[in-house]
Amino acid sequence: MIPVEGVEDQTIAVLGLGRSGKATAAALAAGGARVIAWDDGQDTREAAAAEGLDLVDLTRPAAWEGVAALIVSPGIPHLYPRPHPAIALAYELGVPVDNDIGLFFRSYATNEWGEFERAPRVIAVTGSNGKSTTTALIHHILTECGRPSQMGGNIGRGVLSLEPATDGEVVVLELSSYQTELARALTPDVAVFTNLSPDHLDRHGGPGGYFAAKRRLFAEGGPDRAVIGVDEIEGRFIANQLSMGPRDDRVIRVSSGQKLDKGAWTVFARKGFLSEYRKGRQAASIDLREIAGLPGAHNHQNACAAYAACRAVGLAPRDIEAAFHSFKGLPHRSQLVAEIGGVRFVNDSKATNVDAAAKALDAFPRIRWIAGGLGKDGGIAALAPHLAQVVKAYLYGHSARDFALELGATPHEVVETLDEAVARAAAEAEAGETVLLAPAAASFDQYPNFEKRGEHFVRLVEALR
Q: How far is CA 20 from CA 71, 88, 123, in A?
A: 10, 21, 19
Annotated active-site residue 131? The verdict is yes
- Do residues 18 and 43 make contact, with C-beta atoms less than 8 angstroms apart? no
Which residue among 99, 154, 299, 353 is the active-site one? 154
**Is 386 in the active site?**
no
- Are 249 and 265 a contacting pair, CB within 8 Å? yes
Measure Cα distances from 94 to 67, 87, 90, 97, 183 in Å: 10, 10, 6, 9, 17
What is the C-alpha to C-alpha distance for residues 284 and 402, in angstroms, rounded to an integer?
47
Task: For residue 130, say whether it is annotated as part of any ligand binding site.
Answer: yes
Query: Is 176 assigned a ligand-binding role in the annotation?
Result: no
DSSP sequence for 330-367:
-TTSSEEEEEETTEEEEE-TT--SHHHHHHHHTTSSSE
- Is 127 annotated as contributing to ligand binding? yes
**CB under 8 Å, gap of 24 or more: what pairs does 405-414 form?**
406/379, 406/380, 406/381, 407/380, 408/384
Is 452 labelled a binding residue?
Answer: no
399 marked as part of a ligand binding site? no
Rounded CA-CA distance 373/365 in Å is 24
From 200, 392, 398, 452, the catalytic residue: 200
Give how far the C-alpha of residue 375 lies from the chain's centroid of Cα atoms, to the nearest Å: 20
- Find the catalytic residue in 131, 332, 376, 386: 131
Which residue numbers belong to the known binding site for ATP?
Answer: 127-133
List the catalytic residues: 131, 154, 200
Which residue numbers belong to the known binding site?
Answer: 127-133
